[in-house]
Structure 1
Amino acid sequence: MSNWGATNTNNETLQYCFPNNNMSCTNNVKHGAEYIFVYIFISTVSVFTVFLNLLVIISIAHFKQLHTPTNVLIFSLAVADLIVGLILMPVQGIKLIEPCWYFGEIFCSIFPLIFYVVVTASLGNLIIVSVDRYIAVNDPLRYPARVNINRAVLSIVVNWVFSCIYSFFLLYESIVHPEKNHACVGECILYIDLGYIITDVLVTLVTPCCLIISLYIKICFVAKQQAEHINSLSYKKAKSEKKAARTLGIVVIVYLLCWIPYYIAALTLGQDTGDSLVINIMYWILCMNSCLNPIIYALFYRWFRISAKYILTLKIFEPSSEYFNLFMQEK
């Protein structure tokens, strides 16, 4: 273990993750400008993701006009995306670059659980949002009676609890028996049996896709019918509902596009191997979705652009700033 500076035939410095530990894994250190570039890229995207989702969270929490059931669901989605930017992106980025795991055995078991809980909760949020938009477009007159903030909060709590239970069940072996995650010190590999991967595909991809797609097809059909029979008094409200449904539909499509490559790779490889370069890249694509969501809000929600301007110019510290009108410029 004292051969700290040996060099192999590929001119890579062969080191050990923990040179003072006889059980340490080897570390093939590659020197190059691309590593510096990747580290800068990961840091930039992580900070950008945290910053944008904090804007969403502060906007919805601070401004009274945004205290609606739909925005409560967006708040929950932004919290999940914030966790991705704070924890998952940096760690997953380091795993993509570094061959060694330096965060300890306990976090090696906890990290996959955090990852699966967050991404499963995000998908659950999108399902609830789809149901919310369907009710708003299909039955607008009874929407206030059927959907309120308390029910939205309850659905969010149920969603997060289910995500925790489901993720624990899926990763039970790796959590209870963490020694299976590594063969030497400095290694963290997640193994999931093919049967569990197939179950996960059915639970978190096939079923949600069928449900979400069917709901948005119905939303488009109902919106088209309403456009043909709409009156001038309700035109503005109907247009607003259609715009919200379209925007959240884009969020759903982007989410699924980020999910599908991971499942294709996992099923192709036969098991979820945490040390696979392909799987690590697919994980990173999943994380990137959390950066895209607030960008979509900025592009399609004028209220988000206005509230972000108030936050960045520190106007939210003015008296009664929570009552600012964010929709006065809506067209």
Structure 2
Amino acid sequence: MTLEEDDELCFPQLFNSSCTKPKRSELEAVLTYITLSSISLLTTTLNMFVIISISHFKQLHTPTNFLLLSLAVSDFFVGLIMFFQIVLIDGCWFLGDATCSAYQYVAYVITSASVGTMVLICVDRYVAICDPLRYSVKVTQGRVQACVCLCWTSAVAYQSVLLRDNLDQPGRFISCAGECVNAGNYIAGLADLFFSFVGPVAVTVVLYMRVFAVAASQARAMRSQAAAVSLQGSVTVTVKRSELKAAVTLGVVVAVFLVCLCPYFIYIVILTAGGTLVNASSAAFVICLFYFNSCLNPLIYAFFYRWFRKCLKVIVTLQILQPDSSEANVL
């Protein structure tokens, strides 16, 4: 490794075997640390509010909300592991090879679980909109909880197999001291790309295209019947509108997820193909964009869901500590 005079090493005492730090101004470094730290704190706090709300208030114990709970759990852990990305933002890893392997493993498990949960959310909305009469029979709390458990278990098992070499021998893929990378064979990379990105995205897009097509036709039908309906009919319309609103809200969540996810997997494709055009700053940006999605989800809930705003008020004002607060009306 050839060093310039003004290059700064991660481990100066190791000289040629140490990685070099990317050059950046002090102001840029400070702003980066403040921004990422703020996002990490906001992500963990907001998703903790979502977790407490859905877990505590019995009115929110619905199949759809259990899927949101799973997503909030994964987003909460994303906020926690952002600390390690902050450590790595200067291009140097000081926490050891074993910690690096554990960080990579947890990050990939969370990513797989998030993608799987997004697919489950799309399936839930598909059944609710396209087959509303049998939704309560097909989608029960027990089945949703089983699907969520299977999603997380599969993510753990899948990544355990995929990252087996990295877990068995931490640091085997690093080229210099201070680097934290995960590598594998080309076939495994392509398989992961398909199962973690191409397949789920294709399913998500197809299902939601169908959902919004049916939702649009139902909206037109409701407008045409809104002039003269019986009391029973008006209740039916209200139920349909609530399902449509949920579909739109979760559609926004899915769309934002895909926008934040695509650059990350494009980056993975470039690495898998052996590309070298992505520098450290670009890699850090796409990773942080993916993590930032976990902060956006609770903000979307706060904007669209009145129940989340009510729960937030109850939690912040400590009314949640009162007896029987779990029975409170938050809808």
Same fold (TM over 0.5): yes
Deviation at residue 296 of structure 1 after TM alignment:
0.8
CA contact (8 A) 1:192 1:271 kept: no
2:52 partner SS: helix
CA contact (8 A) 2:208 2:251 kept: yes
User: What's the counterpart of residue 92 of structure 1?
Assistant: 85
188-197 vs 119-128, greater mean Cα deviation: 188-197
Give CA deviations for 1:91-132 in whole Å, capped at 9, x if unaligned.
Answer: 112212x23211112111111111110011001001111111
The separation in 1 between residues aligned to 2:289 and 2:130, in whole angstroms, is: 34
CA contact (8 A) 2:98 2:171 kept: no
Gaps of 5+ in 1: 1-6
12, 17, 37: which one aligns with 2:11 = 17
User: What's the counterpart of residue 73 of structure 1?
Assistant: 67
CA contact (8 A) 1:64 1:323 kept: yes
1:263 to 2:265 alignment = yes
Mapping of 1:1-331 within 5 angstroms? Answer: 9-10=5-6, 14-17=8-11, 19=13, 25-28=18-21, 32-87=26-81, 89-96=82-89, 98-230=90-222, 231-269=233-271, 270-271=273-274, 276-327=280-331
The one-letter code sitting in structure 2 at the alignment partner of 1:251 is V
317-326 vs 149-158, greater mean Cα deviation: 317-326
Identity %, equivalent residues:
37
The one-letter code sitting in structure 2 at the alignment partner of 1:55 is F
Q: How many residues align?
A: 316
Deviation at residue 24 of structure 1 after TM alignment:
6.1
211-220 vs 237-246, greater mean Cα deviation: 211-220
Gaps of 5+ in 2: 223-232
CA contact (8 A) 2:19 2:176 kept: no
Deviation at residue 55 of structure 1 after TM alignment:
0.7
The separation in 2 between residues aligned to 1:16 and 1:113, in whole angstroms, is: 23
Cα RMSD after superposing both structures:
2.3
- TM-score normalised over the length of structure 1: 0.88
Deviation at residue 202 of structure 1 after TM alignment:
1.4
